[in-house]
Structure 1
Amino acid sequence: DEFSFEIGEVIADRLEHVENIVTLNVPIPESTRKIIELNLKYDFRKEYIDSGGMGITVCDLLREDDANKRKVVEINNASRSYNREDNQRRILKEDLYSNLKRLMEQGKIKLLVDDEVKASLKSILAEHDPITGKLKIWGSYSHIAEGLIRMAWCVKDKGLKLWVHY
């Protein structure tokens, strides 16, 4: 599997994408060490980690590290948010992608000029299931886009400077 580490910095009311690192078939302990190394370089305030599947192990290992344990924020696509106005629940993945889209439309995010980043974003597809009406979001090369949606989520938490996604 391919995993991405997307590093961003909030400057005023804008988010700047400062680094994109992609790894392939790297063991979990090595990925955890990479996040610890990146924290030493960037001094993250928060680390937004995909806690679905194997990512929960990364979260657990980071919580054993004194410098990282209070910085870990789990973001799992299977989590749900509640929309009080419509009195409904929706999958957080939709919230994550909607937030990134909003930032892009408003010019409040500056992404790296990188062919891999562009290819990942272009691979994302969304459609409503004709029977259930539920929105399905997927992509054939989605690992970087999945990191970007978590990076962009930091704007929802006030006072954050940097973050990392695994």
Structure 2
Amino acid sequence: MSCIEKVADKHRSPIQTPDCLPLIRSLMEARSMSRKTLAAASGIAVSRLETLIDHDPDDSAVVTVAELRNIIAALDLDPLEVIIRADTFDLIADDDRDRFDPIIRLLSAIFREVSASVLRAAAELGSIEDPEVQPEWTPLLKDVILQRIVKEIAVEAGRRKRWILDV
């Protein structure tokens, strides 16, 4: 089972929409993809995709594992990026947490190093007044950090004959 399936399979099928909407929105923003384009690429009707993204949180709308898998596949994301974003929204199942811990620890170390340098650069450019007082980053800074993390992991993975996990 791929890591995308593991992420999507946390709650089995179906997943309560509020659990995965932030992930879907984050993934869409990462690719600057419109809803219409995403709907066409994922094979999900535009009206259905809009229902999933714009529904009232009190509704009982759900997204199936297949729909989530199609959305992630349509966005053509690196599986490690999906893990990072899924962990951010706490969508990795507890029973899979042990398998992902080595990657998450590595990500955390890289994230601390990269985020500190990005925040310093942002502060110097005046885009953030004080990185210690205002730790919330703009979406652009988050994406810069995320891209660097994925790149660092890809470089590290290329040096190994076999990566820590089968992803």
Please give the range of the TM-score, normalised by the shorter of the 2 chains: 0.3 to 0.5
TM-score, scaled relative to structure 1: 0.35
Looking at CA atoms only, which structure, 1 or 2, has the larger radius of gyration? 2
More helix by percentage: 2
Q: Which has the higher contact order (CA 8 A, sep 6+)?
A: 1
Between structures 1 and 2, the one with greater strand share: 1
